[in-house]
Amino acid sequence: MRTVTSTASPRSHERSGVIFAVAAYGLWGFLPAYFLLLQPAGAIEIVAWRILFSLVFCALIITVTRKWPQLVAVLKQPRLVLMMGLAAALIFVNWQVYVYGTLSGHVIETSLGYFINPIVTVLLGVLLLRERLRPLQWIAVGISGIAVLVLAINYGALPWISLTLAFSFGLYGLIKKRVGGAVDAVSGLTLETAWLVPVATVQLLVVGAGAGITFGTVSPWHTLALISAGVVTATPLLLFAAAARRLPLVYMGLIQYLAPVLQFLFGAFVLREAMPPMRWAGFALVWVALVVLSIDVFVAGSRSRRASPITA
């Protein structure tokens, strides 16, 4: 009985991780439509409200679930607090660039960032974790490099929005994986948003001194939509954090395809953003690289299962 329980527990843990990851990436796939509804608010104001209302939402969750002791325990560990500060900086860059890209008519380019992210995850494993790539992984990285070159020729410059999103979120995921066992999802996001409160405050002051803050001035529905930024932002991040604690990074990278697929479809067929032949070629190369990477994951997983002893 004990052997069966110990075998079933990790599988159940992994299953719940898959559910959390699919839910998180599915919600992220619909974010472009939500941010476009927040206009005439600009990217700087939207991100500021995302930070502040996410912190409020997290504080409510901690209060309802009575998890303040867990947060206090994390605060007593300076290393973890600093790690959350680094995660906060990365997610801030990600949020700001993503909202800017969406509002400026570059939804397809933002989707490319998240298509590239699995490849970035592999590269981070090599550069930071000293992992060795298998042949198919090298092929996937090479193809994705060619894809970026093709897209750079199409844009006339490096696709900086895509690359910034890919690397910032890839590094963010790596940090969340490193601290996952010591920091629960709610406490982690609470600390991240708390770190960013001064930044959000400065952003609102800048907007107020310039174009003017739209919060409370457009319509009740617009105000409610901005307030909802906390729930819309925090929910997928909490799901992502919970998934990252349960799944290997490579699994997270594979499931992540869901979000950019939805974003790409929205940008190409709803917003009708331009897709010239050169851009289609670049995206096609990225998709080929992802197929190669997926095949490698499944082959490696199959070999690992065959090599593992079967216990009754």
Output the tens digit of pLDDT for each of the chain's 312 residues. Answer: 444 444 446 667 778 888 998 999 899 899 999 999 999 999 999 999 999 999 999 999 999 989 899 999 999 999 999 999 999 999 999 999 999 999 999 999 999 998 888 888 888 888 887 777 788 888 888 898 899 889 888 888 889 999 999 999 889 988 887 887 788 878 888 999 999 999 999 999 999 999 899 999 999 999 999 999 999 988 988 888 788 778 876 677 677 788 899 999 999 999 999 999 999 999 999 999 888 888 887 776 666 555 555 433
Place of tokens 């290997």: 248
How many Cβ atoms sit within 10 Å of the Cβ of residue 144? 25
pLDDT at 245: 77
DSSP string, the chain: -HHHHHHHHHHHHHHHHHHHHHHHHHHHHTHHHHHHHTTTS-HHHHHHHHHHHHHHHHHHHHHHHT-HHHHHHHHT-HHHHHHHHHHHHHHHHHHHHHHHHHHTT-HHHHHHHHHHHHHHHHHHHHHTT-PPPPHHHHHHHHHHHHHHHHHHHHHTS--HHHHHHHHHHHHHHHHHHHHTTTS-HHHHHHHHHHHHHHHHHHHHHHHHHTT---TTTS-HHHHHHHHTHHHHHHHHHHHHHHHHHHS-HHHHHHHTTHHHHHHHHIIIIIS-----HHHHHHHHHHHHHHHHHHHHHHHHHHHHHHHSPP--
Asked if 92 and 50 touch (Cβ cutoff 8 Å), the reply is no
pTM of the model: 0.85
Place of tokens 């997290």: 58
Place of tokens 């927040």: 38
